Copies of this chain bind each other. A is one copy, B any other.
Amino acid sequence: MTPTIKDVAKLANTSKSTVSRYLNGKPVKKQTEEAVRRAIAELNYHPNMNARRLVLDKTQEIGIVVDDITNRFYSAILKGVRRILDANGYDCVFYTLGLHHRKETDFLDLLYEGQVDGLIFVSFMRRSEDDVEEMKASSFPVVLIGDDAGVNEIPSIDVDNSSGVIDVVNYLYRIGHRDIAYISGPDGAAATKARMEGYQASIARLGLKLNPDLIVVSDWSNKGGYTAMQQLLEVGGFTAVVASNDESAFGAMSAMQEQGYNIPKDFSIVGFDDIDISSWSYPSLTTVRQPFEQMGSNAAQMLLEMIDSDGERSYSRDLLKPQLIVRSSCLTL
Protein backbone atom coordinates (compact mmCIF):
# COMPACT_ATOMS: atom_id res chain seq x y z
CA MET A 1 0.00 0.00 0.00
CA THR A 2 1.15 3.50 -0.74
CA PRO A 3 1.57 5.44 2.48
CA THR A 4 -0.92 8.10 3.50
CA ILE A 5 -0.77 11.07 5.78
CA LYS A 6 -2.00 8.77 8.52
CA ASP A 7 0.99 6.48 8.24
CA VAL A 8 3.30 9.43 8.44
CA ALA A 9 1.50 10.66 11.51
CA LYS A 10 1.79 7.33 13.24
CA LEU A 11 5.46 6.95 12.47
CA ALA A 12 6.18 10.50 13.56
CA ASN A 13 4.15 10.04 16.69
CA THR A 14 1.78 12.85 15.98
CA SER A 15 -1.57 13.47 14.31
CA LYS A 16 -2.74 13.75 10.74
CA SER A 17 -3.49 17.43 11.21
CA THR A 18 0.04 18.21 12.23
CA VAL A 19 1.44 16.43 9.25
CA SER A 20 -0.99 18.26 7.03
CA ARG A 21 0.08 21.54 8.54
CA TYR A 22 3.68 20.73 7.98
CA LEU A 23 2.97 19.87 4.37
CA ASN A 24 1.25 23.17 3.84
CA GLY A 25 3.94 25.26 5.44
CA LYS A 26 2.01 26.15 8.57
CA PRO A 27 3.79 26.60 11.90
CA VAL A 28 4.94 23.37 13.51
CA LYS A 29 7.31 22.91 16.41
CA LYS A 30 10.90 22.30 15.32
CA GLN A 31 11.00 18.94 17.01
CA THR A 32 7.85 17.51 15.48
CA GLU A 33 8.75 18.99 12.15
CA GLU A 34 11.94 17.02 12.20
CA ALA A 35 10.15 13.83 13.10
CA VAL A 36 7.60 14.36 10.35
CA ARG A 37 10.28 15.06 7.82
CA ARG A 38 12.03 11.85 8.73
CA ALA A 39 8.85 9.83 8.57
CA ILE A 40 8.05 11.21 5.15
CA ALA A 41 11.47 10.31 3.87
CA GLU A 42 11.40 6.87 5.40
CA LEU A 43 8.01 6.00 3.95
CA ASN A 44 8.67 7.78 0.68
CA TYR A 45 5.38 9.52 1.23
CA HIS A 46 3.76 11.66 -1.47
CA PRO A 47 0.49 13.49 -0.94
CA ASN A 48 -2.47 12.31 -2.95
CA MET A 49 -3.44 15.21 -5.16
CA ASN A 50 -6.89 13.91 -5.92
CA ALA A 51 -7.83 13.94 -2.28
CA ARG A 52 -6.41 17.40 -1.93
CA ARG A 53 -8.27 18.62 -4.98
CA LEU A 54 -11.48 17.17 -3.73
CA VAL A 55 -11.45 19.13 -0.53
CA LEU A 56 -9.90 22.27 -1.91
CA ASP A 57 -12.07 22.24 -5.02
CA LYS A 58 -9.06 23.46 -6.95
CA THR A 59 -6.78 21.60 -9.30
CA GLN A 60 -3.96 24.02 -10.11
CA GLU A 61 -4.43 22.96 -13.68
CA ILE A 62 -5.71 24.86 -16.63
CA GLY A 63 -6.80 23.34 -19.89
CA ILE A 64 -5.88 24.44 -23.35
CA VAL A 65 -8.07 23.30 -26.17
CA VAL A 66 -6.69 23.56 -29.62
CA ASP A 67 -8.67 23.06 -32.78
CA ASP A 68 -5.97 21.78 -35.08
CA ILE A 69 -2.88 20.30 -33.58
CA THR A 70 -1.18 20.33 -36.97
CA ASN A 71 -0.97 24.09 -36.91
CA ARG A 72 2.65 25.09 -36.66
CA PHE A 73 1.94 28.05 -34.43
CA TYR A 74 0.60 26.22 -31.46
CA SER A 75 3.93 25.28 -30.00
CA ALA A 76 4.86 28.94 -29.73
CA ILE A 77 1.56 29.74 -28.08
CA LEU A 78 1.99 26.82 -25.74
CA LYS A 79 5.42 28.04 -24.86
CA GLY A 80 4.06 31.39 -23.79
CA VAL A 81 1.32 29.75 -21.79
CA ARG A 82 3.74 27.43 -20.04
CA ARG A 83 6.02 30.26 -19.06
CA ILE A 84 3.28 31.97 -17.09
CA LEU A 85 1.88 28.76 -15.68
CA ASP A 86 5.27 27.57 -14.50
CA ALA A 87 5.81 30.80 -12.68
CA ASN A 88 2.50 30.37 -10.89
CA GLY A 89 2.52 26.70 -10.03
CA TYR A 90 -0.05 25.63 -12.56
CA ASP A 91 0.03 22.73 -14.95
CA CYS A 92 -1.56 22.52 -18.33
CA VAL A 93 -3.81 19.85 -19.77
CA PHE A 94 -3.88 19.64 -23.48
CA TYR A 95 -7.03 18.92 -25.47
CA THR A 96 -7.78 18.82 -29.15
CA LEU A 97 -10.97 18.68 -31.09
CA GLY A 98 -10.92 17.46 -34.62
CA LEU A 99 -10.72 13.76 -34.22
CA HIS A 100 -14.16 13.25 -32.80
CA HIS A 101 -15.57 16.42 -34.25
CA ARG A 102 -16.21 17.76 -30.81
CA LYS A 103 -17.13 21.38 -30.44
CA GLU A 104 -15.15 23.78 -28.32
CA THR A 105 -18.09 24.23 -26.00
CA ASP A 106 -18.12 20.54 -25.16
CA PHE A 107 -14.97 21.19 -23.19
CA LEU A 108 -16.78 23.45 -20.76
CA ASP A 109 -17.69 20.22 -19.01
CA LEU A 110 -14.12 20.07 -17.79
CA LEU A 111 -14.88 23.10 -15.68
CA TYR A 112 -18.12 21.69 -14.36
CA GLU A 113 -16.39 18.46 -13.52
CA GLY A 114 -13.62 20.21 -11.65
CA GLN A 115 -10.90 18.85 -13.88
CA VAL A 116 -9.38 22.24 -14.55
CA ASP A 117 -9.56 25.68 -12.99
CA GLY A 118 -9.80 27.53 -16.28
CA LEU A 119 -9.72 27.09 -20.02
CA ILE A 120 -7.93 28.65 -22.96
CA PHE A 121 -9.53 28.05 -26.33
CA VAL A 122 -7.29 28.52 -29.31
CA SER A 123 -8.52 28.49 -32.84
CA PHE A 124 -7.83 30.63 -35.84
CA MET A 125 -10.93 29.47 -37.62
CA ARG A 126 -14.08 31.50 -37.51
CA ARG A 127 -16.10 30.80 -34.39
CA SER A 128 -19.86 30.76 -34.24
CA GLU A 129 -21.49 33.46 -32.18
CA ASP A 130 -23.56 30.84 -30.41
CA ASP A 131 -20.50 28.99 -29.20
CA VAL A 132 -18.86 32.11 -27.88
CA GLU A 133 -22.07 33.18 -26.18
CA GLU A 134 -22.24 29.81 -24.51
CA MET A 135 -18.70 30.17 -23.19
CA LYS A 136 -19.54 33.59 -21.94
CA ALA A 137 -22.71 32.36 -20.28
CA SER A 138 -20.87 29.64 -18.40
CA SER A 139 -19.29 32.28 -16.18
CA PHE A 140 -16.21 30.15 -15.67
CA PRO A 141 -12.70 31.51 -16.21
CA VAL A 142 -12.22 31.25 -19.95
CA VAL A 143 -10.15 33.10 -22.50
CA LEU A 144 -10.13 32.87 -26.25
CA ILE A 145 -7.19 33.08 -28.59
CA GLY A 146 -8.23 33.96 -32.10
CA ASP A 147 -11.70 34.87 -33.25
CA ASP A 148 -14.31 36.14 -30.80
CA ALA A 149 -17.18 36.08 -33.28
CA GLY A 150 -17.84 39.71 -32.51
CA VAL A 151 -18.91 38.95 -28.97
CA ASN A 152 -17.53 41.73 -26.91
CA GLU A 153 -17.73 40.77 -23.32
CA ILE A 154 -15.46 37.78 -23.37
CA PRO A 155 -11.73 37.92 -22.74
CA SER A 156 -9.88 37.25 -25.95
CA ILE A 157 -6.54 37.74 -27.60
CA ASP A 158 -5.68 38.03 -31.23
CA VAL A 159 -3.19 39.56 -33.61
CA ASP A 160 -4.10 42.85 -35.20
CA ASN A 161 -4.13 41.32 -38.66
CA SER A 162 -5.31 44.37 -40.45
CA SER A 163 -2.54 46.53 -39.03
CA GLY A 164 0.06 43.96 -40.07
CA VAL A 165 -0.95 44.11 -43.70
CA ILE A 166 -1.20 47.89 -43.58
CA ASP A 167 2.39 48.05 -42.36
CA VAL A 168 3.59 45.87 -45.14
CA VAL A 169 1.76 47.70 -47.89
CA ASN A 170 3.04 51.01 -46.56
CA TYR A 171 6.53 49.60 -46.63
CA LEU A 172 6.22 48.54 -50.24
CA TYR A 173 4.87 51.98 -51.11
CA ARG A 174 7.72 53.65 -49.33
CA ILE A 175 10.32 51.77 -51.36
CA GLY A 176 8.61 52.73 -54.57
CA HIS A 177 5.99 50.13 -55.41
CA ARG A 178 2.66 51.26 -56.79
CA ASP A 179 1.22 48.11 -58.31
CA ILE A 180 0.79 45.66 -55.51
CA ALA A 181 -0.92 42.31 -55.90
CA TYR A 182 -2.52 40.38 -53.05
CA ILE A 183 -2.82 36.65 -52.39
CA SER A 184 -5.64 36.14 -49.92
CA GLY A 185 -6.36 33.27 -47.56
CA PRO A 186 -9.10 30.70 -47.02
CA ASP A 187 -12.58 31.75 -46.14
CA GLY A 188 -12.79 29.68 -42.97
CA ALA A 189 -9.90 31.45 -41.30
CA ALA A 190 -10.82 34.35 -39.10
CA ALA A 191 -7.81 36.41 -40.15
CA THR A 192 -8.53 36.31 -43.85
CA LYS A 193 -11.10 39.06 -43.75
CA ALA A 194 -9.06 41.36 -41.49
CA ARG A 195 -5.95 41.01 -43.63
CA MET A 196 -7.86 41.67 -46.81
CA GLU A 197 -9.39 44.75 -45.22
CA GLY A 198 -5.94 45.93 -44.28
CA TYR A 199 -4.84 45.56 -47.86
CA GLN A 200 -7.80 47.39 -49.30
CA ALA A 201 -7.71 50.11 -46.69
CA SER A 202 -4.05 50.92 -47.22
CA ILE A 203 -4.33 50.82 -51.00
CA ALA A 204 -7.12 53.36 -50.70
CA ARG A 205 -5.34 55.49 -48.13
CA LEU A 206 -2.25 55.69 -50.31
CA GLY A 207 -4.33 56.85 -53.23
CA LEU A 208 -3.50 53.80 -55.35
CA LYS A 209 -5.99 52.15 -57.61
CA LEU A 210 -7.50 48.91 -56.43
CA ASN A 211 -7.23 46.43 -59.29
CA PRO A 212 -9.45 43.41 -58.68
CA ASP A 213 -7.40 41.36 -61.11
CA LEU A 214 -4.47 41.65 -58.75
CA ILE A 215 -6.35 40.02 -55.89
CA VAL A 216 -6.46 36.25 -55.93
CA VAL A 217 -7.96 33.99 -53.33
CA SER A 218 -5.87 31.09 -52.15
CA ASP A 219 -5.77 28.74 -49.18
CA TRP A 220 -2.52 29.56 -47.36
CA SER A 221 -0.87 26.40 -48.61
CA ASN A 222 2.38 26.26 -50.50
CA LYS A 223 0.68 24.80 -53.49
CA GLY A 224 -2.10 27.35 -53.29
CA GLY A 225 0.46 30.15 -53.39
CA TYR A 226 2.06 28.51 -56.36
CA THR A 227 -1.10 28.44 -58.45
CA ALA A 228 -2.14 31.88 -57.28
CA MET A 229 1.12 33.25 -58.60
CA GLN A 230 0.74 31.48 -61.90
CA GLN A 231 -2.57 33.24 -62.21
CA LEU A 232 -1.10 36.61 -61.34
CA LEU A 233 1.77 36.15 -63.73
CA GLU A 234 -0.68 35.70 -66.58
CA VAL A 235 -2.40 38.94 -65.70
CA GLY A 236 0.80 40.86 -65.01
CA GLY A 237 0.91 44.57 -64.27
CA PHE A 238 2.39 44.46 -60.77
CA THR A 239 5.85 44.90 -59.25
CA ALA A 240 5.17 43.52 -55.79
CA VAL A 241 2.98 40.90 -54.13
CA VAL A 242 1.64 40.66 -50.63
CA ALA A 243 0.99 37.06 -49.68
CA SER A 244 -1.29 36.76 -46.69
CA ASN A 245 0.94 34.12 -45.14
CA ASP A 246 4.51 32.90 -45.50
CA GLU A 247 3.73 29.44 -46.72
CA SER A 248 1.84 30.70 -49.76
CA ALA A 249 4.55 33.30 -50.28
CA PHE A 250 7.04 30.48 -50.72
CA GLY A 251 4.72 28.77 -53.15
CA ALA A 252 4.48 31.99 -55.09
CA MET A 253 8.25 32.34 -55.10
CA SER A 254 8.62 28.84 -56.53
CA ALA A 255 6.24 29.69 -59.34
CA MET A 256 8.20 32.81 -60.18
CA GLN A 257 11.55 31.10 -59.97
CA GLU A 258 10.35 28.29 -62.16
CA GLN A 259 9.45 30.78 -64.83
CA GLY A 260 12.92 32.21 -64.61
CA TYR A 261 12.11 35.33 -62.67
CA ASN A 262 14.49 36.65 -60.09
CA ILE A 263 13.38 37.76 -56.66
CA PRO A 264 13.62 40.57 -55.79
CA LYS A 265 14.89 41.95 -59.10
CA ASP A 266 11.81 41.10 -61.12
CA PHE A 267 9.25 41.02 -58.34
CA SER A 268 9.19 41.94 -54.70
CA ILE A 269 7.26 39.73 -52.32
CA VAL A 270 6.27 39.83 -48.67
CA GLY A 271 4.59 37.28 -46.44
CA PHE A 272 2.83 37.14 -43.11
CA ASP A 273 3.74 34.99 -40.05
CA ASP A 274 7.52 34.89 -39.94
CA ILE A 275 7.89 31.14 -39.81
CA ASP A 276 11.42 29.94 -39.30
CA ILE A 277 12.32 29.30 -42.91
CA SER A 278 11.52 32.87 -43.78
CA SER A 279 14.92 33.86 -42.51
CA TRP A 280 16.70 30.88 -44.08
CA SER A 281 15.35 31.01 -47.56
CA TYR A 282 17.25 32.45 -50.44
CA PRO A 283 16.34 35.23 -50.73
CA SER A 284 15.10 35.62 -47.20
CA LEU A 285 11.53 36.76 -46.87
CA THR A 286 10.33 40.16 -45.72
CA THR A 287 7.30 39.46 -43.60
CA VAL A 288 5.17 40.31 -40.60
CA ARG A 289 5.98 38.54 -37.37
CA GLN A 290 3.12 37.26 -35.28
CA PRO A 291 3.66 37.45 -31.53
CA PHE A 292 2.47 33.95 -30.77
CA GLU A 293 4.42 33.40 -27.63
CA GLN A 294 3.13 36.63 -26.23
CA MET A 295 -0.40 35.70 -27.16
CA GLY A 296 0.05 32.60 -25.09
CA SER A 297 1.51 34.35 -22.10
CA ASN A 298 -1.07 37.13 -22.18
CA ALA A 299 -3.85 34.60 -22.35
CA ALA A 300 -2.45 32.67 -19.42
CA GLN A 301 -1.99 35.87 -17.46
CA MET A 302 -5.57 36.94 -18.02
CA LEU A 303 -6.86 33.52 -17.16
CA LEU A 304 -4.90 33.32 -13.92
CA GLU A 305 -6.17 36.72 -12.89
CA MET A 306 -9.71 35.61 -13.48
CA ILE A 307 -9.13 32.48 -11.47
CA ASP A 308 -7.61 34.41 -8.59
CA SER A 309 -10.33 37.00 -8.59
CA ASP A 310 -12.81 34.17 -8.33
CA GLY A 311 -14.19 34.31 -11.81
CA GLU A 312 -14.50 38.04 -12.23
CA ARG A 313 -13.89 38.84 -15.82
CA SER A 314 -11.97 41.68 -17.31
CA TYR A 315 -14.01 41.72 -20.50
CA SER A 316 -11.29 42.84 -22.79
CA ARG A 317 -10.14 42.03 -26.27
CA ASP A 318 -6.39 42.24 -26.54
CA LEU A 319 -5.20 42.93 -30.08
CA LEU A 320 -1.43 42.49 -30.32
CA LYS A 321 0.46 44.40 -32.97
CA PRO A 322 2.52 42.27 -35.30
CA GLN A 323 5.96 43.42 -36.32
CA LEU A 324 7.33 44.15 -39.78
CA ILE A 325 10.51 42.19 -40.45
CA VAL A 326 12.46 43.58 -43.36
CA ARG A 327 14.69 41.09 -45.18
CA SER A 328 15.79 40.68 -48.75
CA SER A 329 12.81 39.71 -50.84
CA CYS A 330 11.95 43.29 -51.82
CA LEU A 331 13.71 45.67 -54.19
CA THR A 332 13.69 49.44 -53.78
CA LEU A 333 12.51 50.95 -57.06
CB distance from A154 to the nearest CB of B (A): 20
A219 CB within 8 Å of chain B: no
Residues on B with C-beta less than 8 A from A254 are 280, 282
A8-51 interface code vs B (CB 8 A; 1 in, 0 out): 00000000000000000000000000000000000010111111
Residues on B with C-beta less than 8 A from A277 are 250, 277, 280-281
Question: In the complex, which of the residues B69, B86, B250, B258 contacts A75, with contact meaning CB atoms closer than 8 Å?
Answer: B69
A91-118 interface code vs B (CB 8 A; 1 in, 0 out): 1111110011000000001001111000
Find residues 221-253 in chain A having any chain B CB closer than 8 Å to their own CB.
Answer: 222, 247, 250-251, 253
Is A112 within 8 A of B46, CB to CB? yes
Is B115 within 8 A of A99, CB to CB? no
Residues on B with C-beta less than 8 A from A57 are 50
A53 CB within 8 Å of chain B: yes
Question: In the complex, which of the residues B78, B93, B251 contacts A91, with contact meaning CB atoms closer than 8 Å?
Answer: B93
Q: Knowing A86-B100, A95-B91 touch, does A50 contact B280 (C-beta < 8 A)?
A: no
Is B93 within 8 A of A94, CB to CB? yes
In the complex, the chain B residue whose C-beta lies closest to that of A221 is B280
Residues on B with C-beta less than 8 A from A112 are 2, 44, 46
A260-282 interface code vs B (CB 8 A; 1 in, 0 out): 00000000000000001101111
- Give the CA-CA distance A57 to B99 in the complex, in Å: 28
Question: In the complex, which of the residues B61, B64, B79 contacts A70, with contact meaning CB atoms closer than 8 Å?
Answer: B79
- Give the CA-CA distance A156 to B288 in the complex, in Å: 41
Stoichiometry, copies per complex? 2
Residues on B with C-beta less than 8 A from A257 are 282
- Give the CA-CA distance A112 to B70 in the complex, in Å: 32
A171 CB within 8 Å of chain B: no
In the complex, the chain B residue whose C-beta lies closest to that of A83 is B99
A74 CB within 8 Å of chain B: yes
Is A46 within 8 A of B113, CB to CB? yes
Q: Which 10 A-B pairs have the closest CB atoms?
A: A46-B112, A50-B53, A277-B277, A50-B54, A94-B94, A222-B280, A49-B113, A93-B93, A69-B79, A250-B280
**Can you show 25 pairs from A to B with CB atoms below 8 A apart?**
A46-B109, A47-B113, A48-B113, A49-B115, A50-B50, A50-B57, A50-B114, A61-B93, A69-B75, A69-B79, A74-B75, A82-B96, A82-B99, A91-B93, A91-B94, A93-B93, A94-B94, A247-B276, A250-B281, A253-B282, A254-B280, A257-B282, A277-B277, A277-B281, A281-B281
